[in-house]
Amino acid sequence: PNQPPVVFHWFPFIGSTVSYGMEPYEFFNKCQKQYGDVFTFVLLGRRMTVTLGPKGNEFVFNGKHADLCAEEAYTHLTTPVFGEGVVYDCPNHMLMEQKKFMKFGLTTETFKQYVPLIKDEILSFFANSPYFKGDAGRVPLSTAVPQLVLFTASRSLQGKQVRQALTTTHAALFHDLDMGFTPVNFMFPWLPLPHNAKRDKAQRAMAKLYMDIIAKRKAGEEKEQEIDMIWNLMNRNYKDGRPLSDRDIAHCMIALLMAGQHTSMATTTWTLLHLAAKPEIQQALYDEQVRVFGKDLAPLSYEKLSELSLVNNTIKEILRIHPPLHSLIRKVKSPLHVPNTDYVIPSSHFVMAAPGVSAMDEQYFKNAKDFDPFRWIGHEKDEDNAEKFDFGFGLVSKGTASPYLPFGAGRHRCIGEQFANVQLGTIISTFIREFEFSLPPGQKEVPPVDYNSMVALATAPAMVHWKRRQH
């Protein structure tokens, strides 16, 4: 049997590391032209087989756990940050259970409670941030949005105490932990870099924050006020009857914090930038607010968010053009035949899905480069849909051969899609109600992507000019 073609390179260990690292999509597109949908490249000595297109997405996302393993691909990066015993530092069946536990805390009931909390956080951010003083100004999104996303996610999902700690006692610790979540740690997590020593110290301190909250709650020192994710996880048991340990809960909470922070902040930033470039879409979004909430703009609520189809289509379109995660990776566990080819991938390789490539392919999306939320009208239900998935055991997923999978598919599919929609929908709606905004004078295009980060971020400072909307 044949192996997939290997991308030409000059130096054995370095391989294609530089061109992939700097411009992953340019690299994928060039290789696709030259070698087809399936090819292997060398990334710091490792052999990565990329499988592109809807079938390629399905091949990676729907692989059996015995054949394709995520934990071996990700644990070096995630375990020092999240902590031990959860996610990719435990057997896969335990991750499946942990995801199910987390899903219990991501229900309609909790979302109803979250929307007003998130909205209040945004309004207090506007009131207190130096970037939003007066009637007009400018804001570097690369500084402001990470804070806004952190405050809104922590106030809702993480609970009041974590929210408070993140602006006071634990603000610097969160920063140190976050600095450990960088692409260089994919390959060299053990490097004795100063940021890794800080990361390890911060991980322990953040875990202690959660464990202290749990201990207080167990001691009955805190009455159950708001149902947050910590309460939820404290009430779950593994299939064998064991509850999650306090440490497991702490580490799951850190994993949730990190998973949601980077993806949501990239998406929020790109949304505001593209809207800044298209005032006519801002106007349409404002008109939608008036249509759904009335002239006096009644308060946002979870029920009404789902009626904001332009808001939801805007999020969908941003995730098509800027999916935060460009490469999803698995370790190959036994030689694998690629369907409809005569290629067999040896077990020494990794496989990589890059659904962002098919999402920008003219074959599936006309004028793929254009930001056009209206293209989704009438196609709202087309894409892979979280409701179809059962995060229980023996999970089998259907419909993964899609060109559009910003949340992945199969057993590792994202559990945060609905929460992200609630958070982003509330942020977009609140921005649109309060401001009109534009790119800096003379700037026509949104800034280029910075791939030097965990997610596909906008190059700093990602400046946007704003003025208060006249109602």
Residues that bind ligand HEM (CB under 6 A): 70, 95, 99, 256, 259-260, 263-264, 267, 319, 323-325, 328, 406-408, 412, 414-416, 419-420
Q: State the minimum distance, in angstroms, from the CB of residue 91 to ligand HEM.
A: 13
Q: State the minimum distance, in angstroms, from the CB of residue 330 to ligand HEM.
A: 7
Both tokens assigned to 468: 């208060």
Cα torsion for 76, 78, 84, 89, to the nearest 10°?
Answer: -70
Q: State the minimum distance, in angstroms, from the CB of residue 391 to ligand HEM.
A: 9
Q: From CA 348, how far away is CA 352, in angstroms rounded?
A: 14
Specify whether the CB–CB gap between 407 and 264 falls below 8 A.
Answer: no
Q: State the minimum distance, in angstroms, from the CB of residue 405 to ligand HEM.
A: 7
Cα torsion for 334, 338, 343, 347, to the nearest 10°?
Answer: -20
Pairing of strands 46-51, 350-353: parallel
Specify whether the CB–CB gap between 249 and 159 falls below 8 A.
Answer: no
Give 318 or 432: the residue with its C-beta nearer to ligand HEM: 318
Q: State the minimum distance, in angstroms, from the CB of residue 424 to ligand HEM.
A: 7
Q: State the minimum distance, in angstroms, from the CB of residue 87 to ligand HEM.
A: 7
Chain-centre distance for alpha carbon 408: 10
Q: State the minimum distance, in angstroms, from the CB of residue 61 to ligand HEM.
A: 6
Q: State the minimum distance, in angstroms, from the CB of residue 464 to ligand HEM.
A: 20
> What DSSP string runs through 135-160?
SEEEEEHHHHHHHHHHHHHIIIII-H
- Residue closest to 228 by CA, chosen among 110, 97, 117, 120: 110
Specify whether the CB–CB gap between 57 and 316 falls below 8 A.
Answer: no
Specify whether the CB–CB gap between 397 and 100 falls below 8 A.
Answer: no
Both tokens assigned to 26: 């340019």
Q: Which amino acid is at 438?
A: S
Q: Which amino acid is at 252?
A: C
Q: State the minimum distance, in angstroms, from the CB of residue 364 to ligand HEM.
A: 18
Q: State the minimum distance, in angstroms, from the CB of residue 468 to ligand HEM.
A: 28
Both tokens assigned to 201: 């110290």
Q: From CA 75, how far away is CA 70, in angstroms rounded?
A: 8
Q: Which amino acid is at 38?
A: V
Specify whether the CB–CB gap between 317 and 372 falls below 8 A.
Answer: yes
Give 15 or 323: the residue with its C-beta nearer to ligand HEM: 323
> What DSSP string runs through 260-307?
HHHHHHHHHHHHHHHHHH-HHHHHHHHHHHHHHHTTTTPPP-HHHHTT
Give 170 or 326: the residue with its C-beta nearer to ligand HEM: 326
Distances (CA, A) of 79 to 74, 82, 227: 8, 5, 27
Q: State the minimum distance, in angstroms, from the CB of residue 141 to ligand HEM.
A: 16
- Residue closest to 273 by CA, chosen among 81, 465, 5: 465
